[in-house]
Amino acid sequence: MLFGFGGLICSIGQIILNICKERGFDTATSGTIVSILLIGISAFLTGLNLFNKIGKFAGAGSLIPITGFANSIVSPAMEYKSEGYVMGVGGKMFTVAGPVLVFGISTSILVGIIYLIFNTQNVTLV
Amino acid sequence: MKKVGNQTIVFDNPPTILECASIVGPKEAKGPLAKYFDQTLDDEFWGEKTWEKAESKIIKETVSNVISKSGVPSNKIDCMFAGDLLNQCISSSFGLRELNIPFFGVFGACSTFVESMSLGAICTESFAENVLCATSSHFCSAEKQFRFPLELGNQRPPSSQWTVTGSGAAILTKSGTGPYITHITPGKIVDMGIKDGNNMGAAMAPAFADTLIAHFEDTRRNPSYYDAIISGDLGYIGKDIVIDILKSKGYNIKSNYDDCGVLIFDKNAQDTHSGGSGCACCGTVFSGYFFKQLKEKKIKKLLLIATGALMNSTTSQQGESIPGIAHAISIEV
Amino acid sequence: MDINWANVFDWTVLLKCFVTAGIICVIGQILIDKTKLTPAKILVIFVTTGAILGGFGVYQYLVDFAGAGATVPLTGFGYNLAKGAIEAVQEMGLVGAFVGGVKAAAGGIAAAVFFGYLAALISKPKMKKQ
């Protein structure tokens, strides 16, 4: 079940990717378009109270693809609406997903620095 | 009243549970005990904008109901004990703020209902003629505070329990015709080092066993004395654990023991995993179902032991274990 | 619209994507079932792993093989961040380490924030209908 869902979501992503490539977009832009579309769809499914029904039986199949990331941002935002649009929705949006950004970005910075150290002959330092 | 044994109190003039009232949410309304509750709700908001406000409304209406059912005017109620799961027990304080009755807010997690009745009973043997005891819980507000946003697509583990949405309230009176609270055995905090917040039944079972054994040792009774021994919200998993713990200590409760969390939901139809939990689990099941059984003398001797898990969301993140507590009251008609 | 639909629905590509994605999700499910890790921690493990594997160039092989089956799961988000950091370092040195990751993920992060806020505005959280 989760295998199917994970596979399905990513296959939809692949189809979108293929369409973008056919239309002449480069790989990076195509990837960004896929992310934006899948995130948008997950956000609205969460907003319509549908995502958690999928998640109940899809488990990791909906959590691990970028759809899970989007759901983890929208769900606390919805929940804390009662505490206002600034501190509630705005402030609580990243209670579940925040660590993903913190660790992902921090790791990428470390990767960049380590790459720099091992490749100083290829790159200009500053 | 006087103390017997290590921690039990026996009343010379046992107070009467005069009246009870209960309101439950939509999921409980589809459960096996639905017809016993005074009122059932169609949705979790009941016209309010937030779950916290809804929970306050539920306890407010339940208390209002029990006061009118009892015939005791609110200015003749000497004090009230109430509590809930929300931070600083705001459901109770906001819900009951218009009552003009001296208020003692209490926190016993899911044992709050029995804790309130225990303290209320003590008051009737001192200054009070009538005491109000109430509690509430709400699935959505509890999930928001303790666990995850509702719309998060995560899976609940099989040991998890479903917080009951609802409220239970009781009025105790000094002179009445029963059912009587004859003994109370306040519980000690019992911490066996369990850390899994998704398995509350296991965390609270040791406390239940501790209080039950203390009660029987103090009163020199044994389990067969009671028609029913009822726990608040150990759930299916906690229920099995506690039967085993007690068997190993020489107490066999299998034949007359049950749990409110197990009774309130239909295991097969309602997918609530290990059963119901929350302050209102014991509160509504006692106020709705067991109180009626006592009034109709279908049950004549009841030992009600509500259990609570004394943690908050910070302690679990800090890697702390979950201390449990269980308060017992003995009720006879 | 001069789209070659045969290329879009190339079943060999889709199959590799489907299976790889499924396997990555199964690993996630094993973590959910067998450990006490919360969803947040599991997502962190996946994104960090993807970034590290991306940094070593290992994840690239998976991406070449499975396309979206490797980039859509959160490991792919991590890989994207790492790849962006490396490319920016090649262009502008040390500053690139800081710029690159966020730059590559910019679209996704902006979408998450924006659509997240919109969806929260138009919605009302309901009790789980379980």
Cα–Cα distance measured from residue B187 to residue B324, given in angstroms and rounded to the nearest whole number: 9
- Break chain B into its structural domains and give their ranges: 2-173, 180-332
Instruction: Tokens 């596979």: give the residue.
Output: A7
Inter-chain contacts counted by CB atoms under 8 A, chains A and C = 299
Instruction: Tokens 């993807």: give the residue.
Output: C50
Inter-chain contacts counted by CB atoms under 8 A, chains A and B = 50
- Per CB-CB distance under 8 Å, the chain C contacts of A125 are 93-94
Cα–Cα distance measured from residue B330 to residue B118, given in angstroms and rounded to the nearest whole number: 10
Dig out the tokens for B258 from the structure. 């049950």
Give residue-wise pLDDT tens across range B2-27. Answer: 999 999 999 999 999 999 999 999 99
Query: Across the interface, do A71 and B151 touch by the CB < 8 Å criterion?
Result: yes
Please name every residue paired with B258 in a beta bridge, in sequence order, or none if there are none: B230
Please name every residue paired with B329 in a beta bridge, in sequence order, or none if there are none: B184, B304
Cα–Cα distance measured from residue B305 to residue B242, given in angstroms and rounded to the nearest whole number: 12
Instruction: Tokens 């998976």: give the residue.
Output: C62
Across the interface, of A68, A75, A82, the residue whose CB is closest to B151 is A75
- Break chain A into its structural domains and give their ranges: 2-95, 97-126
Interior angle at CA B234, CA B229 and CA B238, nearest 5: 105
CA A53, chain centre distance (Å): 19
Query: Across the interface, do B140 and C39 touch by the CB < 8 Å criterion?
Result: no
Predicted pLDDT of residue B198: 86
Peptide bond into A99 cis (omega under 30): no
B43: closest CA of chain A, how far (Å): 15
Mutate to test the interface with C, among A5, A111, A116 (most CBs of C within 10 A): A111
Look at the alpha carbons of A60, A64, A69, A71 in this order and tell me if their dihedral is positive or negative.
Answer: negative
A-proximal residues of B, 132-161, CB under 8 Å:
144, 148-155
In the predicted structure, residue C129 carries a pLDDT above the cut 60:
no
Query: Across the interface, do B154 and A51 touch by the CB < 8 Å criterion?
Result: no
Cα–Cα distance measured from residue B104 to residue B85, given in angstroms and rounded to the nearest whole number: 15
- CB of C88 within 8 Å of a chain A CB? The answer is yes
Mean of the per-residue pLDDT values for chain B?
95
Nearest to B232 by CA among B332, B156, B314, B302: B302
Across the interface, of B52, B148, B153, the residue whose CB is closest to A62 is B153
A72: closest CA of chain C, how far (Å): 8
Dig out the tokens for B321 from the structure. 């274990």
Predicted pLDDT of residue B149: 87
Under a CB-based contact definition with an 8 Å cutoff, are residues B238 and B124 in contact?
no
- Break chain C into its structural domains and give their ranges: 5-122
- CB of C92 within 8 Å of a chain B CB? The answer is no
3-state secondary structure B28-86: HHCCCCHHHCCEECCCCCCCCCCHHHHHHHHHHHHHHHHHHHHCCCHHHCCEEEEEECC
Give residue-wise pLDDT tens across range A19-51. Answer: 888 888 888 888 899 999 999 999 999 888 888
Cα–Cα distance measured from residue C94 to residue A125, given in angstroms and rounded to the nearest whole number: 6
Cα–Cα distance measured from residue B280 to residue B55, given in angstroms and rounded to the nearest whole number: 11
- CB of C53 within 8 Å of a chain A CB? The answer is no
Q: Which of A73-87, B124-138, C8-22 is modeled with the greatest confidence? A: B124-138
- Per CB-CB distance under 8 Å, the chain A contacts of B150 are 52, 75, 79
Please tell me the least confidently modeled range out of A113-122, B4-13, B235-244, B321-330: A113-122
- Per CB-CB distance under 8 Å, the chain C contacts of A122 are 90
- CB of C119 within 8 Å of a chain B CB? The answer is no
**Average pLDDT value for residue range B98-104:** 96
- CB of C57 within 8 Å of a chain A CB? The answer is no
3-state secondary structure of B179: coil
CATH topology of domain B2-173: Peroxisomal Thiolase; Chain A, domain 1 (3.40.47)
Cβ count near C95 (within 10 Å): 13
- Per CB-CB distance under 8 Å, the chain B contacts of A54 are 153
Closest chain B residue to A68, measured at CA: B153
Task: Please state the φ and ψ torsions of residue B180, each to the nearest 5 degrees.
Answer: -100, 140
- Per CB-CB distance under 8 Å, the chain A contacts of B50 are 82
At residue B221 the predicted structure's pLDDT band, cuts being 50, 70 and 90, is very high
Give residue-wise pLDDT tens across range B124-169. Answer: 999 999 999 999 999 999 999 998 888 888 888 888 999 999 999 9
**Quick one: DSSP state of residue B110?**
B
The amino acid that residue A16 corresponds to is: I
C15: closest CA of chain A, how far (Å): 8
- CB of C71 within 8 Å of a chain A CB? The answer is yes
Q: Residue-wise over B18-38: b if at least 16 C-beta within 10 A, else e?
A: bbbbbbbbebbbebebeebbb
The amino acid that residue B147 corresponds to is: R
Query: Across the interface, do B151 and A59 touch by the CB < 8 Å criterion?
Result: no
Q: Which residues contact B255 (CB under 8 A, 6 or more apart)?
A: none
Query: Across the interface, do B152 and A49 touch by the CB < 8 Å criterion?
Result: no
Query: Across the interface, do A19 and C22 touch by the CB < 8 Å criterion?
Result: no
Closest chain C residue to B270, measured at CA: C130
Look at the alpha carbons of B146, B152, B156, B162 in this order and tell me if their dihedral is positive or negative.
Answer: positive
Nearest to B206 by CA among B108, B322, B112, B113: B322
Under a CB-based contact definition with an 8 Å cutoff, are residues B168 and B282 in contact?
yes
CATH of B180-332, one of 3.90.550.10, 3.40.50.20, 3.40.47.40, 3.10.110.10: 3.40.47.40
Burial of B89 (0-12, 13-18, 19+ CB in 10 A): buried
Dihedral (C-alpha) C25, C30, C31, C33: value to the nearest 10 degrees? Answer: 120
Closest chain A residue to B156, measured at CA: A56
**Average pLDDT value for residue range B221-248:** 95
Closest chain B residue to A70, measured at CA: B152
**Average pLDDT value for residue range B163-186:** 96
**Average pLDDT value for residue range B241-264:** 95
Instruction: Tokens 């002179």: give the residue.
Output: B175
At residue B196 the predicted structure's pLDDT band, cuts being 50, 70 and 90, is confident
